[in-house]
């Protein structure tokens, strides 16, 4: 597969065309941003860990019946994925209160929910990714009703799989964000990444945060947290 021109550069990844019109290459960077790009920094080695962790989990999710964009890991930072048009919704699942949920509803972090929750944000940097409900997303033609139902089904299946897999590594899955894409034939697949950038991971025993909150909240040892997650999940 031949890497061609850069199509796009996002906050944490670059995307390149290939000689196959249905395949693109994602290239994971060490750049980190938070609060809609207001806080910027570098987390050394993050791109390698996020690439490898995402691919590991996407391979397993495919086996568990969730279709994904994953094709082939090409190098430490580069992966070939199916070309999709991203559904402009951030899909957030929560098992425990934290972050914007705790702030929005004026509750402490760490409340364990009886059932996981799901919410959507409209992916739009100019608007600051506002919270959106199903009806509004359908009205704005961001996705059809059927696509949203399928996305919800996949998102809860990802939660069941991730919660179990992480618990085996001594990690509590607090919450996470997913993005879905559409192939040219309309098939919905899981896209983007699953990493400490996009999930909250707490150590089961100590409650220590092992995710991007260490960067967002200036907790220190940010690199160490990413490395610890790689060690627990990938054995390296």
Q: Which residues bind ligand UDP (CB under 6 A)?
A: 90, 92, 98-101, 129, 175-177, 198-200, 212
Q: Minimal distance in Å, beta carbon 99 to ligand UDP?
A: 2
CB-wise, 22 or 117, nearer to ligand UDP? Answer: 117
CB-wise, 82 or 209, nearer to ligand UDP? Answer: 209
200 and 213 Cβ atoms separated by less than 8 Å: yes
Q: Minimal distance in Å, beta carbon 22 to ligand UDP?
A: 26
CB-wise, 60 or 216, nearer to ligand UDP? Answer: 216
Q: Which of 196, 119, 121 is nearest to 155 (CA)?
A: 119
Residue nearest to ligand UDP (CB): 99
**Alpha-carbon distance 109 to 227, whole Å?**
24
Alpha helices in 42-123 (DSSP H): 46-63, 99-105
Q: Minimal distance in Å, beta carbon 73 to ligand UDP?
A: 21
Which residues lie across from 191 on neighbouring strands? 179
Helix (H) or strand (E) holding 191: strand 188-191
CA triplet 231, 172, 13: central angle to 5 degrees? 60
CB-wise, 18 or 228, nearer to ligand UDP? Answer: 228
CB-wise, 15 or 74, nearer to ligand UDP? Answer: 15
Q: Which of 233, 228, 182 is nearest to 209 (CA)?
A: 228
**Alpha-carbon distance 132 to 121, whole Å?**
5
Q: Minimal distance in Å, beta carbon 182 to ligand UDP?
A: 20
Q: Minimal distance in Å, beta carbon 213 to ligand UDP?
A: 8
CB-wise, 70 or 176, nearer to ligand UDP? Answer: 176
Cα 133 from chain centroid (whole Å): 20
230 and 53 Cβ atoms separated by less than 8 Å: yes
Q: Minimal distance in Å, beta carbon 176 to ligand UDP?
A: 5
The DSSP 8-state label assigned to residue 76 in this structure reads S
């Amino acid at each position: 597969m031949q890497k061609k021109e850069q199509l796009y550069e996002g906050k944490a990844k670059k995307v390149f065309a290939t000689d196959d019109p249905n395949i693109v290459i994602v290239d994971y960077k060490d750049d980190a941003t938070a609060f809609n790009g207001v806080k910027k920094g570098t987390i050394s080695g993050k791109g390698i860990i996020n690439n490898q962790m995402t691919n590991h989990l996407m391979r397993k999710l495919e086996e568990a019946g969730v279709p994904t964009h994953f094709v082939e890991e090409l190098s430490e930072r580069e992966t070939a994925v199916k070309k999709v048009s991203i559904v402009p919704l951030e899909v957030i699942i929560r098992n425990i209160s934290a972050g914007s949920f705790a702030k929005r509803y004026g509750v402490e972090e760490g409340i364990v929910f009886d059932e996981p929750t799901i919410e959507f944000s409209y992916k739009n940097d100019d608007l600051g990714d506002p919270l959106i409900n199903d009806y509004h997303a359908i009205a704005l033609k961001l996705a059809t009703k059927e696509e949203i139902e399928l996305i919800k089904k996949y998102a809860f299946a990802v939660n069941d799989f991730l919660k179990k897999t992480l618990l085996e590594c001594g990690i509590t899955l607090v919450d996470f964000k997913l993005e879905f894409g559409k192939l040219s034939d309309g098939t919905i697949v899981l896209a983007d990444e699953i990493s400490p950038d996009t999930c909250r991971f707490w150590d089961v025993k100590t409650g220590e945060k092992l995710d991007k909150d260490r960067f967002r909240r200036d907790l220190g040892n940010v690199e160490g947290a990413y490395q610890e997650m790689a060690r627990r999940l990938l054995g390296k």
